[in-house]
Structure 1
Amino acid sequence: MTRAEAVAAEIRRRIETGSITVGAKLPSIRKAAEQFDVSKNTIVDAYDRLVSAGIAFSRPGAGFMVAERRRQTPSERP
């Protein structure tokens, strides 16, 4: 597991357990890099993974936010 995958998994876990709530702003890239003791590029990669998974979204000028959970359509279900 890469560092970016590990960071994304930890943020996802925090969202699922409720320690980070829907609509909450994720830490800035710089702050998250300090918190997780990784490079800013690693955080950018982790946040991009969360965006791709529909867990977070980017708001230009405001940063990254936790997305509302959307219901899966029947074709998306396993």
Structure 2
Amino acid sequence: MADTNPADGAGAERLRIYWTTGPGGAKIAWGTPGDFDRCVKLLDEHMPGRAEGYCNLLHKRATGIYPATHAAQLRGRD
């Protein structure tokens, strides 16, 4: 598993890759309904109280759009 406490920028990038396109990203299944909630649930144990903000950024990185925009698109409101 990825280092959960990276001390440098390279470690932080490895975490971003893990949670977007790596095994963590596969668990989250970005781009499908509930992806943001799955992300928060998975990451909350590693970063309590900060997971929502980080998942917001990961969602943008993984899908190209922020979660609120994605949710609106899924409801048919662009």
Normalised TM-score (structure 1): 0.38
Structure whose residues are more often helix by fraction: 2
Q: Which has the higher strand share?
A: 1
Higher relative contact order (CA 8 A, sep 6+): 1
TM-score (norm 2): 0.38
